[in-house]
Amino acid sequence: MIISRGSLVSVHFSPPMVGKHWEYDLVIKNCEHFANWCRYGVKSSAQLGTNINQNDGNAYLSIGTVSIDGKFVGARLPNAHVCVNKDENGITASAGVEIGAIRSGPVEVSAGAQSKVGVNNDGFQMGVNFANASVGPVGVGLGLGIDTSVTDHGFNFLGTGFEVENGRPRINVLGSKAECLIM
């Protein structure tokens, strides 16, 4: 497969697929899915708005994730996703539907519903998120959760707690959150 990036042309073959047949499907396994999987490790198609990712026991499927991005204004169209994450610490599953999102400069607002449930070495997660908004470096999310965990980056008890992840502080109150998006 030949992939062009400006004047640089590189050839990249995905070793697991050498000598194997790619089962073509217009919606979930077309040529754009294959090209993106070879280059980035994610089966995605911006043309159709589908994204499939499977590696190391994790699976992610989204349908309808089409973004329209301009210099000053952007939007995400309605979409749905299902995700299962499994690692040495435990398993988490989530599913959701986003009605849409709109961005203008540093302000972004999205609405929809996402539910999650999981058990891991640090505790358990269960909750529903409804809406998110960010203005510059501050993000807020409206939800209802009963996450209970103690980790090396914070704690939550019945959805209320404090965390610092990747240098970003976040306060949770019964599943709703306020966080700093840049650090």
Contact in structure between 183 and 165 (CB atoms under 8 Å):
no
In a domain, 168, yes or no: no
Token duo for residue 54: 């499977």
- Please count the structural domains in the chain: 1
Give per-residue pLDDT as tens, 93-110: 888 888 888 888 888 898
Tell me phi and psi for residue 48, to 5 degrees: -105, -15
41: exposed, middle or buried (C-beta count within 10 Å: 0-12, 13-18, 19+)? exposed
Look up the domain containing 5 and give its range: 1-55
In a domain, 24, yes or no: yes
Between strands 138-145 and 148-151, the pairing is unpaired
The proportion of the chain whose per-residue pLDDT surpasses 70, expressed as a percent, equals 68
Q: What helix, strand, coil percent values describe the chain, rounded to 5?
A: 5, 65, 30
Tell me phi and psi for residue 37, to 5 degrees: -65, -45
In a domain, 4, yes or no: yes
pLDDT, mean of residues 148-169: 89
d(CA 39, CA 92): 27
pLDDT, mean of residues 116-140: 87
In a domain, 19, yes or no: yes
In a domain, 12, yes or no: yes
In a domain, 180, yes or no: no
In a domain, 89, yes or no: no
In a domain, 167, yes or no: no
Residues paired with residue 163 on neighbouring β-strands, in sequence order? 154, 170
Give per-residue pLDDT as tens, 3-62: 333 333 334 444 555 666 667 766 667 777 677 777 666 666 666 555 666 655 667 777
**Reported confidence tier of residue 140, pLDDT bands at 50, 70, 90:** very high
